Structure 1
Amino acid sequence: MRLKSKIVAAITGLVFVVSSFLSWLYLSALLKQHIEQSYSATDVIAHQMLFALRESIANGLNNRKVDTNDPAAFRIAVADALRKDPGLNALMNSIISYSPTVFDVSIADKSGRALLSTDPTQQDQLLPTRPEYGALLNVSPISTLEVLLGPPRVYDLSLGLDLNRQRFLTVHIGIRTTLLRNAFEPWLVEAMWVTSLVILSSLAVSAFLANLALKPLEDISRRLDLLQSEGKMQSEAEPDESVDTVAQVSHKIERIGRRMRNVEEVFSALKENLDQILSNLQDGMMLFTRDARAVLISSSVERFLGRDRDQMFGATIHEIFNRGTILGRTIRQAFDAGISLVQEEVTTETGRRVEVSLDFIYDENSAGGLGALLTLHDLESLREIENELELSRRMAAIGRLTSGVGHEVKNPINAIVVHLELLRNKMSAEDSASLRHLEIIQSEIERLDRVVQTLVDFSRPVELRLQDHDLRAVLSSVLTLASAELETMGIEVASTLPERMVLVKVDGDLLRQALLNIVLNGAQAMQNGGRLEVLLAEDARWAVLSISDQGEGIATDVLPKIFDLYFTTKKTGSGIGLAMTYRIVQLHNGKIDVESHVGRGTKFTLRIPINSDTRQRGQLETATTLLEEQQG
């Protein structure tokens, strides 16, 4: 059986079930309604009989003396009055004649014997026990049909007449099931014909609509073939004409789905690689569609605009750039006018120099443009990089010079020390003035030797012992080591550390030395005490550590020289600490920035690269620790 035929059969079967169920509900409601109407009509007849019974007794016993203490005589008198009442007998006969469902009418005494009945055989006889007609009101439709279509039965509807609060007479109305069936048969047959016609019509309409709904699958199949040919998709097998359309369409959609999943995997890999490339770019890059919406944003754009790039995705260029700023006004004017910008230099309100390039992308087959590519280049960063390169060249030159000087000076110093010791041995103790001069010469030579040794140590290659360290622990150990000295100087330390671990791959001893140099340098800048603020944070690539003091600050002309070897503004300074700190940060592929304001203080910012594997492991360890704490 073809799949299309199965679908049509399933839809038709479902419609048949629904229509049959609704038809059954309709027949059930109709049957219940007629039973209730028949019961109500019979109940009215019973009340009429009860009213006529009261009138008959009142008229028949009005002028007749009856001993009420003699039950037998009283019963005879009542029966005689009922049987001789022409109105009551006429009413009973009319009920039998005109009511389509009433089988008999009887009036019985309290013992159940008939005083008067439309059936002469029941006169003065005990009436048979019959089921209550009201019971048919509460049974299911199936049970009602079984009663109507089953063997003939007589149901009873009764009403009682009380005397002195005791049951005196009872009116019994007998309803025969065959009479009910004859009364219900016309409308029941008509309702069954209507429901059957409705079911058959529903089946025909559902089959027609199902075939009509599945007919477009042939057109879909042709369009899928066209899509395959345009996409140069190689079919796994030629379509079999004997297979129905639904199976063909399902097979083709499955092949296209596999192809789309393959394309999606390639696209995801390309997107991941592109995001990785963009994250490493120093220049800000934004790609806009033809309706000016941003679909590609490098992470460096956040530095230029000060906004999270997740908030800029999908936004228009007019929503991203504010016309109130110089940069935003320049870009929006060029974009609205459709004018390309080629390395346009823009100076922002803060004095930052940014080079802007705006290129529009066109397609020969498209009437309008495809979009635009915006590039933001930070000239200040370029200048800082050039300064760092210049400083690195100077440091390298100093290293080469000091290594040579240390080697050349060390040997003469050793010779001088040897001959100085020989000269001291040859001099007598009496020549004290000469010995004093020799001691001065020796102390100066020793100081010169320490300077040369420092030069040699600074220029000697350093072997890094890189290990995973929590930067919070490294920083805490530095603050603990310097706490005693900071306390004596009246320095208050305010440290802000993140809750989770900041893992970096560094030489712990060298990094502690570098941080200690900055902390002590900041403390020494606050001669009258103050507040030393330490802040540790992290972003996608760096662990960022800032150390701020409230000292005198560094003059603008002095600031570029603070990392030079032997440069110092302190009377007792050696000029080696910050130079060594700069070298240690460089050895770890990090960055160090200084921001200082005379009279307000200085802020050192260190950036240490975060290893991605180490960071993921650190996050896992942090999550594990938190979980253990919660369970504990």
Structure 2
Amino acid sequence: MTGICLHSNTPVVGQGRSWFPRAFHTLRVRLIISVALVHVVLMGQFTWEAVDRQSHELRQEMVNQGRSLASLMVVASTNALLSEDLASLAEVTRRVGEREDVSYGEVVDVRGFVMASTREGRVGRKVGPMIEQNDQFPLNEDDRILDLRDEVIIDSSRVGLIRLGLSTKNLENALAETRNRGIQYILLALVIGSIAAWLLSLAVTRNLHDLTLAAKRIGEGDLNARVDVRSQDETGTLARAFNLMAASLHRSSREIELEHRKRTDAERLACVGEMAASIAHEIRNPMVALINSVKLLGNEQLSAEDHKAVSDIVNTESNRLQRILNDFLMFSRLPDAKLEQGDLKVLIEQTIGLVSQDPLYADGISFDCRYEDDNSCLFDSDLMRQVLINLMLNAMQAISGEGKLTIRLQQLNGRLNVSIVDNGRGIPAEVMPEINKPFFTSRKEGTGLGLPVVQRILAQHGTALTITSREGSGTEVAFDLDVESNG
């Protein structure tokens, strides 16, 4: 027998996580944002239309008031223009200038000279190019005065001109105040809408939260979880449907549990019967041999050579009986696994030392061991030794003559993978579905309990045995173990 131990490092590729904010993915937040946006959009549209309507009305009112004031100036200054009564014209312009919105007011004669004005230094001056038409809203960006004119006509003849300028300052202040009030209303609508949406979302999501908690409880196995129905709306309908589903699941679970218990009892009885029959079958031949050998040993005429041969038979069959009973005891009363941190490489080397001493299978078989730098994991030393012995002996029995057993440890996805590969005769495809069943064996000396015991031990370690085989090429058996405790 030759031993070859190789070390191989298998890199573990970590999987990255993509984190993204989930605050705006909840139904409550989306509902609040939606309702708030609706309030803001509707209130903004209403405010815009109100400001636009008020702006149009105020501007039209200003134009009408300006035209009325200009007409009054025409009436008041007609006779004074004809008589060139400057005092009367000055009195007209003074009264006009007392009005709050009037920026200027002037009376101009037909020659273009200012006869009276609210502005100092303008009387007697000739005005520049006169406006040909009244200003219209909207004014230029830097223009804050609405310029109006009205002609003084007597008998179809123009005898003068009235010029009037109205300041738009109060108009702009009124519009600005309306806009500011509209913004305040929008903010108020936003606050009220958000509060209303929050209260609405609270009423909706509270039932959904209760449903989520109840669903988690059912997922954890508590089929008695129910939801209190507090409303008659869609969420209340959903809660009632959930309760009906939970009740149905509870009934179905009880029926399944009862059926499972009946089936388990039936399988247990069948297993007991099968075990009894298998025990009787396995011990029959050794017992017959022992009985016959004991009878021969009682014969005083038996030669010394025959006596030794019969004694050897007794020892061999007794050991065989002991091995059969140990297998049955191990299968029927498997101890609980006590998982501890340890180096699996050390246990494998010890197990190789044990199985290599077996005179029936060790000759001509080499071991190719490939380990990681760190082979630490969680396992029960005694039970895992039983697993390794069974798997190695099965692999060695599958090799006819010389062969190789490859034992490989490698880190895969955060666990330590154990693989045992032989180049023996392999397992026929029609036998593969049966090999894990108790008492099934293809060897005359076997009890068919080796692999079932292995599977039960691995189940206590939170794993299972996988078998890959091709007839004529060999077999690979593998399982994985936790590298550290989750607690």
Q: Same fold (TM over 0.5)?
A: no
Q: TM-score, normalised by structure 2?
A: 0.40
Q: TM-score, normalised by structure 1?
A: 0.33
Higher RCO by CA contacts (8 Å cutoff, separation 6 or greater): 2
